[in-house]
Amino acid sequence: MIDLHTHSLFSDGELLPSELVRRALVIGCQAVAITDHADSSNLDWVIPRVVQVCRDLNPHWQVRAIPGVELTHIPLDLISPLTVRARSLGAQIVLVHGETVVEPVPPGTNQRAIAAGVDILAHPGLITEEEVVLAREKGVFLEITARKGHSLTNGHVARLAKKVGTSLVLNTDTHAPDDLISQDYALKIALGAGLTNEDFERMQENAWKILDRMS
């Protein structure tokens, strides 16, 4: 299991980054990204600390800790510059909090995030087919999520992604210890979204592709 969307107490998660990574290791994760919520108010504070803790942990534990960020509920015109800023601060993976149906995300966020070339568009809700096509063209991965509420539209995202050939990844959006899942449970999430065992294997391969392009 590779989980590229988790939160520590640096934003609204419950765990120290070290405990989050340790728990991910114990349940069998090979890599975990710490992607705390950020906007222009805390970007400069969060990312350097996540970078440091990942640097500290990686020599000691057999799980790869990846510094990242989830840009969340920000004005559309700030998505692209904050993506650039996040990467300059050391974020190796940039997510944008997509237009989930359970939160008042600004309309147009999905399109702007994809156009900005983020790595993953998290829980993109009722994303349009045109946006899914754009994600394929821009190399942006769409998320199938294990997170309650956000997962309501997994089937919609999966169906459109398969239709047009856009790459998917499966993440937990972990905020609490019980949010972390095993690979077997992740498969159940994928099957519940109407995907197949082969699709799930492909999502795991896609996660490795994201890791490879960090090298």
Q: pLDDT tens-digit profile of 71-128?
A: 999 999 999 999 999 999 999 999 999 999 999 999 999 999 999 999 999 999 999 9
Output the average pLDDT for the chain.
97
Domain with 70 in it: 2-212
Instruction: Evaluate if residue 147 carries a pLDDT over 90.
Output: yes
Distance CA(210)–CA(163), nearest Å, equals 22
SS3 state of residue 143: strand
Distance CA(109)–CA(101), nearest Å, equals 13
Indicate the DSSP class of residue 11: T
Q: What is the pLDDT of residue 12?
A: 96
Number of structural domains the chain divides into: 1
pLDDT (average), residues 152-169 = 98
pLDDT (average), residues 126-149 = 98
pLDDT (average), residues 176-187 = 96
Q: What is the CATH number of the domain that holds 107?
A: 3.20.20.140
Q: What is the pLDDT of residue 215?
A: 62
Position 148 confidence tier, pLDDT thresholds 50, 70, 90: very high
Position 214 confidence tier, pLDDT thresholds 50, 70, 90: confident
Instruction: Evaluate if residue 2 carries a pLDDT over 70.
Output: yes
Q: Are 63 and 21 in contact (CB under 8 A)?
A: yes
Q: How many CA atoms lie within 13 A of 108 on its CB side?
A: 9
Length of the chain: 215
Beta strands in the chain (DSSP E): 2-6, 31-34, 37-38, 64-71, 93-97, 120-122, 141-145, 168-171
φ, ψ for residue 148, nearest 5 deg: -60, 145
Instruction: Evaluate if residue 213 carries a pLDDT over 90.
Output: no
Cβ of 86: how many Cβ atoms within 10 Å?
25
